[in-house]
Structure 1
Amino acid sequence: MDAVNQTRVTEFVFLGLTDNWVLELLFFVTFSITYTLTLLGNILIVVTIVFTPRLHTPMYFFLSNLSLIDICHSSVTVPKMLEGFLLERKTISFDNCIAQLFFLHLFACAEIFLLTIMAYDRYVAICTPLHYAIVMNMKICVRLVFALWLGGTIHSLAQTFLTIRLPYCGPNVIDSYFCDVPPVIKLACTDTYLTGMLIVSNSGTISLTCFLALVTSYTIILVSLRKQSAEGRRKAWATCSAHFMVVAFFFGPCIFLYSRPDTSFSIDKVVSVFYTVVTPLLNPLIYTLRNEEVKSAMKQLRERQVVFVKSCT
């Protein structure tokens, strides 16, 4: 018995999304295209903002950071998921599993904080426009971004510590396609109720608190729009509706997955796919298709590239 207790799990086995090889092939093609579009779309947004001087404002500075986070967030889980579609036995080493869940929570928490900051930015710009240049200057914006990364790191370290402090001596099968804290701690060889409650109080509190802050900000903005001109209301509504769509798509799955104690539902995998694969693709689509300024900047950047190529030839 002592020998069994001292045996440490060295790898985990994923059950994946399905065991049907036809569906696995279909998922591989679909998610490969989705991941490629996610990378290209977010990189395009970053490049457009960097090379367009008129977009060097706090709102677009935060948007470029959101695109970077989405690239990193999807890259934590999607490549390993795609690899699993091609393998009969889907495994990950213990150390890589811990690294995956650390970076998953780092980028997810960073995005939660960033979306909250973006809501505050819109609140200041619409409700107190005369103070905007002072309250949201670039120096403050850089500090806010540094703070969100620091907060995300602290949160992720806490989640990782709560996970690795538990003993793992078997079983080692994870009913998912990536390593996350809830499914991993279920495999621990000890009672995890207290740990589960600590994890929920950490992740759940952050998600719910930031979501309530976001809803409050947008409610105040909507109320204040009554005092704006018709054109001002149209521009503010276009910007805020895009932000709120991103918030709903990201916070909904987060709250669903991380705000409940040791319970799981059959729909969890579907929600996880939406949260880790689909949402990072939707963000660039929402911000480009609904933002005339970004589309105009992309068009001008493409025209400058064409002129540059012609001049070189």
Structure 2
Amino acid sequence: MFVSLACKEKVIMSVFMFIMCISIPLNAAIIAACFYHRLHSPMLLYIALSSLADTSWEIVVISCYFSRIIAARKIISFNECLFQLFSIHCSMFQQFLTTWLMYVDRHWAIFWPYSYMALMVNKGGAVKLVMIVLTIGLLLSVSLVIVPTTMVYCNYSVIVRDVLPVFFHQLQGQLYLVYGLTGFTALYSTWCIVRKCHKSSTEANIKALHTCFTQLFASTAQFISLIVILVLKRFFRIPTFDFILVLISSVSPAIVNPLIFGFRMQEIRSTVISAFRKLQAIHHKRTLNLCVMIERTKMNIKSTVATKQKRSFQNAVKCLY
């Protein structure tokens, strides 16, 4: 039974690793398209950071399971456990905080355009906002690692029972604060933008509404996977089922978001299509050159064979005379 369960986990793990290998080039293409336009708008910077956070999230989660299932490591050190804890929460915080920043940026640009332009005209305005958000996520992740190190895990010491729930609720409060802040901002910003754009049909409002729904579709993958896992893991205690749910939550944003941004963002879509056509033209040119070389080789072989046959015939005629 245990052997069959281990084999099932390896097969499932291999499938999701294959999906990860597909999602990494997709996110790399999105990031390359954003940098191709030199990040001329803050939204391209946020999309590049979101793709980077989604990729790091799936790599961190799958690598943790890889060490246990594929590498067959049943025991890890305490420092490795803390490093995994830091990596998981850091990548998750960057995911949700980057999404939160995207909604704040769009809401700010629509409802307070003058102050928004004053900040963005300043060199590095969007970069400063990104650095602040990334620093907040980093500090939250570090706090989650520092709390376990302050506890004493030794037979000669006793942990007070009333202290552990306090730490647990503090950590849980940080997680729900980030999730709740991002979810509330997404719903409130979308509702305000839809209400404003409904009153006017100008081209700028239509574009803002298009961008708003693009962000909403992208963040839906994060929240749906998170809610489904929290609900199902609470009511179902099946190890294999939990294992599959965690892997789905790790790869779904990295697969869904590049498709959403690639299809709905004009700058990214045009760049990806142009790059694909160039690669297709290069492949067609190489194939054509290869066909020409093959035809020339065939002609040379035929010419060589004909020359040898002609010489053999001439030598045979000379021998007769």
The alpha-carbon deviation at position 130 of structure 1 amounts to 5.8
Mapped partners of 1:301, 1:72: distance in 2: 25
Gaps (5+ residues) in structure 1? 1-17, 171-187
Mapped partners of 2:225, 2:150: distance in 1: 27
CA contact (8 A) 1:169 1:189 kept: no
Q: Could you say which structure has the higher helix fraction?
A: 2
CA contact (8 A) 2:61 2:247 kept: no
Larger radius of gyration: 2
CA contact (8 A) 2:93 2:137 kept: yes
Aligned to 1:23: 8
Cα deviation code 1:150-197 (max 9, x no counterpart): 101110111111223234469xxxxxxxxxxxxxxxxx9764322211
Aligned to 2:193: 221
Aligned to 1:51: 36
Mapped partners of 2:282, 2:117: distance in 1: 35
Q: 1:275 aligns with which of 236, 244, 249?
A: 249
CA contact (8 A) 1:200 1:258 kept: no
Aligned to 1:196: 168
CA contact (8 A) 1:242 1:290 kept: yes
CA contact (8 A) 2:221 2:252 kept: no
The alpha-carbon deviation at position 279 of structure 1 amounts to 1.9
Does residue 90 of structure 1 match 2:74?
A: yes
Distance 1:252 1:189, change over 3 A: farther
What SS does the aligned partner of 1:136 have?
A: helix
Aligned to 1:37: 22
The alpha-carbon deviation at position 233 of structure 1 amounts to 5.3
Aligned pairs for 1:134-283 (under 5 A) are 134-137=118-121, 139-168=124-153, 191=161, 192-229=164-201, 232=204, 234-254=206-226, 266=237, 269-283=243-257
The alpha-carbon deviation at position 73 of structure 1 amounts to 1.8
Cα deviation code 1:75-119 (max 9, x no counterpart): 212123234333555333221111111121112112222111100
What SS does the aligned partner of 2:124 have?
A: helix
CA contact (8 A) 2:100 2:181 kept: no
Distance 1:305 1:130, change over 3 A: farther
Q: 1:297 aligns with which of 251, 271, 276?
A: 271
Mapped partners of 2:101, 2:7: distance in 1: 43
The alpha-carbon deviation at position 136 of structure 1 amounts to 3.5
* 1:279 alignment partner AA: P
Distance 1:31 1:226, change over 3 A: same
Cα deviation code 1:42-87 (max 9, x no counterpart): 111111111235x521111111111112222222121232343335
The TM-score, its normalising length taken from structure 2, stands at 0.73
* 1:101 alignment partner AA: L
The TM-score, its normalising length taken from structure 1, stands at 0.74
Mapped partners of 1:147, 1:288: distance in 2: 27
What SS does the aligned partner of 2:75 have?
A: strand
The alpha-carbon deviation at position 237 of structure 1 amounts to 3.4
Mapped partners of 1:63, 1:50: distance in 2: 11
Q: Which moved more, 1:136-145 or 1:108-117?
A: 136-145
Q: 1:123 aligns with which of 85, 91, 107?
A: 107
Distance 1:256 1:49, change over 3 A: same
Q: Provide the alpha-carbon RMSD of the alignment.
A: 3.4
Distance 1:92 1:265, change over 3 A: farther
Mapped partners of 2:213, 2:277: distance in 1: 29
Mapped partners of 2:160, 2:25: distance in 1: 44
Distance 1:168 1:75, change over 3 A: farther
The alpha-carbon deviation at position 307 of structure 1 amounts to 6.8
Aligned to 1:181: none
Distance 1:153 1:215, change over 3 A: same
Distance 1:198 1:131, change over 3 A: closer
What SS does the aligned partner of 2:76 have?
A: strand
Cα deviation code 1:180-221 (max 9, x no counterpart): xxxxxxxx9764322211111222122212321222111111
CA contact (8 A) 1:207 1:254 kept: no
Mapped partners of 1:29, 1:200: distance in 2: 32
